[in-house]
Amino acid sequence: MKIKTQLLELCTKYADKRVLGYKNEIELIKESIENNDKVSNEDDDSGNSKLLDDLEKNMNYLNDANKMREQLKLVRPNLVSDNVVLGSLVKTDSITFYIALSLGKVEVEDSEYYIISLASPLGQLLKNRKKGDQFKFNEKSYEIKDVL
């Protein structure tokens, strides 16, 4: 299905952009640490302490972004399932969801899609449901019209 492939590509670009951003940030922090080491002859390295904290945070973010990218490799846009699974396009009476990662609302070919993670509260609510099932989320009721 063409739209599922387009949505998966959008998710992949998002994940790749995050990975690249964190890698660049880590390189900048490493350079700053090296420059501080060259300039500073004092025993006080409180500047490096903050940079090291930032480095650790960004390395954790990079790890999460890499996991996101690995998760996307499991998505099969041609997979057909009656139940909602990773990679499903879920059409309800009011909203269409794509189950991949937490990206939020996107527009593709003049249609709106909400890209959500299977691990999210809404994703867990949709998991294994099928056409005709009803569910309630944030005080609003939905009916699944189709699972593609």
The reported pLDDT for the residue numbered 38 is 74
Burial class (CB in 10 A: 0-12, 13-18, 19+), 113: buried
pLDDT at site 36? 83
**How does DSSP assign 58-95, residue by residue?**
HHHHHHHHHHHHHHHTT--TT---SB--TT-EEEESS-
Element housing 14 (H / E): helix 2-39
pLDDT of residue 141 exceeding 60, the answer is yes
Out of 41-55, 59-73, 94-108, least confident range? 41-55
**What residue spans define the domains of the chain?**
2-72, 89-147
Task: Please check the confidence at residue 71 and state whether its pLDDT lies above 80.
Answer: yes
Specify the 3-state DSSP secondary structure of 112: strand
Indicate if the pLDDT at residue 74 is higher than 60.
Answer: yes
Instruction: For residue 67, give both structure tokens.
Output: 């996991």
pLDDT of res. 48: 86
Say what the pLDDT of residue 1 is. Answer: 74
Pairwise CA distance, residues 83 & 65, whole Å? 27
3-class secondary structure, 104? strand
pLDDT grade for 80, boundaries at 50, 70 and 90:
confident
Residue 92: band (very low, low, confident or very high) from pLDDT cuts 50, 70, 90: very high
pLDDT at site 42: 56
Using one digit for the tens of pLDDT, what is the confidence trace for 9-54? 999 999 999 999 999 999 999 999 888 877 765 555 567 899 999 9
User: pLDDT over 90 for what percent of the chain?
Assistant: 85
Question: In 3D, which of 135, 61, 53, 46 has the Cα closest to residue 97?
Answer: 135
